[in-house]
């Protein structure tokens, strides 16, 4: 409706009057904010994450700076639909992998620390040679447990790095994350997509480069990319090649920006970079999900082998001795 020239207030009234449930409630709340003098983007930002995801709010805010709020709303809707589909698929895989890993750990430690001691109390197991005959299996199970503990520690470190670490020391942590293949795209690509999408919209709608970089330096979350925008702004002011200031970009992306001859080409280059990060996020999410699932499957198989070696195999050996 905004693209057709309908006013924001009128559009929100129409949505409120023709929809039910949560859509109607959110439209009414936005209408009140717009009637109080806020823009659509400001009203959406004030509505908070309960009504709109943070990424959607950021994209619409960027579109409002460029004067193309309607386009930002459309693109934000498409972006959220794509990201939700990616997350929905990956969440199932990641949680199933975590569940499998936890089940394997429970089987291994339960077998070693509970089931095996119970079996060793049996007179039959003492006749079979007791725990000495199972020394190799016990050592293997301990080794597997140590590996699992190490992997769980590494996973916890990466999780804390992407969450708590980026809040405490965003620039330093981003510099570290950028050195880790695959993981860097999983953590940074989504926000990078939003930032470069916003930058492409600003440039395409006629905002001066210096002003566009200033806006992005203010609105981008703290970290390496925000510093990139700040350095690019200073480079524009000095008349230096601003593309070289974008340190977080791949050299080929910097070259594409540096070779852009006019505003339209710069906007297209930023848009292409944004799409690249969107695709990278989907690819890396799928890759990490597959790795986690494969790891969980390996340890589930190992837990089964350990359980067999520590419980079933001794009983089979004892049975063969008794019938011999």
Question: What tens digit of pLDDT does each residue of 57-80 get?
Answer: 766 766 666 566 667 777 767 766
Residue 145 domain boundaries:
77-323
Are 16 and 67 contained in the same domain?
yes
Same domain, 46 and 170: no
Is 247 a residue whose pLDDT tops 80? yes
Give me the pLDDT at residue 63, please. 63
Number of neighbours of residue 149 by Cβ within 10 angstroms = 11
Decide which of 40, 58, 76 is a domain's last residue: 76
- Cα–Cα distance between 11 and 24 in angstroms, integer? 12
pTM of the model: 0.69
Can you give the pLDDT at residue 40?
76
Out of 55, 76, 97, pick the residue that ends a domain.
76
Same domain, 291 and 315: yes
26 has a pLDDT exceeding 90? no
Instruction: Tell me: do 65 and 135 sit in the same domain.
Output: no
Q: Would you say 141 and 112 are in contact if contact means Cβ atoms under 8 Å apart?
A: yes
Pair 69, 85 in one domain? no
Report which of residues 292 and 321 the model is more confident about.
Answer: 292
pLDDT band at 207 (very low <50, low <70, confident <90, very high): confident
Shared-domain flag, residues 165 and 304: yes
Residues 182 and 38 in one domain: no
Ordered alpha helix ranges (H), the chain: 8-18, 21-35, 40-47, 54-66, 69-110, 116-120, 123-127, 135-160, 166-168, 170-177, 183-204, 209-219, 224-238, 251-258, 263-307, 313-323
CA distance from start to end of the chain: 87
Task: Please check whether residues 138 and 235 belong to one and the same domain.
Answer: yes
Mean pLDDT of the chain: 81
Per the structure, the count of domains in the chain is 2
Is there a single domain that holds both residue 44 and residue 106? no
User: pLDDT for 298-320, tens place per residue?
Assistant: 998 988 888 887 777 777 766 76
- pLDDT reading at 125 higher than 80: no
pLDDT of residue 234: 94
Mean pLDDT, range 203-226, rounded to an integer: 84
Dist. CA 197–CA 278, nearest whole Å: 10
As a whole number of angstroms, the distance between CA 28 and CA 83 comes to 27
Reported as a pLDDT band with limits 50, 70 and 90, residue 236 is very high
Whether 98 and 36 share a structural domain: no
Examine the pLDDT at 94 and tell me if it is beyond 60: yes
How does DSSP assign 249-295, residue by residue? S-HHHHHHHHT--SHHHHHHHHHHHHHHHHHHHHHHHHHHHHHHHHH
Question: What is the arithmetic mean of pLDDT over 179-201?
Answer: 85
So what's the pLDDT on residue 131? 57
The reply to whether 221 and 192 lie within a common domain is: yes
The pLDDT value recorded for residue 199 is 84
| Token pair belonging to 256 | 């594409």
Predicted confidence at residue 113, as pLDDT, reads 77
- Decide which of 27, 42, 76 is a domain's last residue: 76
- Compute the average pLDDT of residues 127-139: 67
Confidence of residue 29 (pLDDT cuts 50, 70, 90): confident
Residues 134, 247 within the same domain: yes
């Amino acid at each position: 409706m905004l693209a057709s020239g309908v006013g924001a207030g009128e559009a929100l009234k129409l949505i409120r009057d023709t929809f039910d449930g949560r859509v109607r409630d959110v439209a009414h709340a936005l209408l009140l904010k717009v009637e109080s003098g806020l823009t659509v983007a400001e009203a959406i930002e004030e509505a908070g994450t309960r009504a709109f995801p943070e990424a959607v709010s950021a994209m619409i805010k960027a579109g409002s700076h460029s004067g193309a709020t309607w386009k930002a709303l459309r693109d934000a809707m498409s972006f959220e639909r794509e990201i939700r589909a990616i997350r929905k698929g990956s969440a199932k895989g990641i949680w199933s992998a975590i569940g499998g890993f936890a089940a394997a750990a429970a089987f291994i430690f339960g077998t070693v620390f509970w089931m095996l001691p119970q079996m060793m109390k049996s007179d039959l197991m003492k006749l079979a040679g007791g725990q000495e005959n199972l020394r190799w299996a016990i050592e293997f199970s301990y080794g597997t447990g140590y590996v699992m503990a190490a992997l769980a520690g590494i996973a916890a470190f990466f999780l804390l790095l992407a969450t708590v670490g980026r809040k405490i020391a965003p620039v330093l942590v981003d510099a570290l994350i950028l050195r880790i293949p695959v993981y860097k795209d999983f953590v940074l690509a989504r926000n990078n997509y939003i930032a470069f999408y916003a930058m492409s919209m600003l440039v395409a709608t006629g905002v001066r480069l210096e002003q566009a970089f200033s806006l992005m330096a203010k609105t981008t979350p703290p970290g390496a990319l925000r510093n990139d925008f700040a350095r690019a702004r200073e480079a524009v002011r000095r008349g230096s090649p601003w593309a070289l200031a974008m340190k977080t970009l791949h050299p080929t992306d910097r070259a594409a920006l540096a070779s852009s001859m006019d505003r339209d080409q710069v906007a297209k280059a930023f848009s292409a970079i944004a799409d690249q990060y969107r695709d990278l996020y989907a690819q890396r999410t799928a890759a990490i999900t597959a790795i986690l699932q494969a790891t969980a499957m390996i340890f589930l198989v190992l837990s089964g082998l350990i359980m067999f070696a520590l419980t079933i195999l001794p009983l089979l050996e004892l049975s063969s001795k008794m019938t011999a």
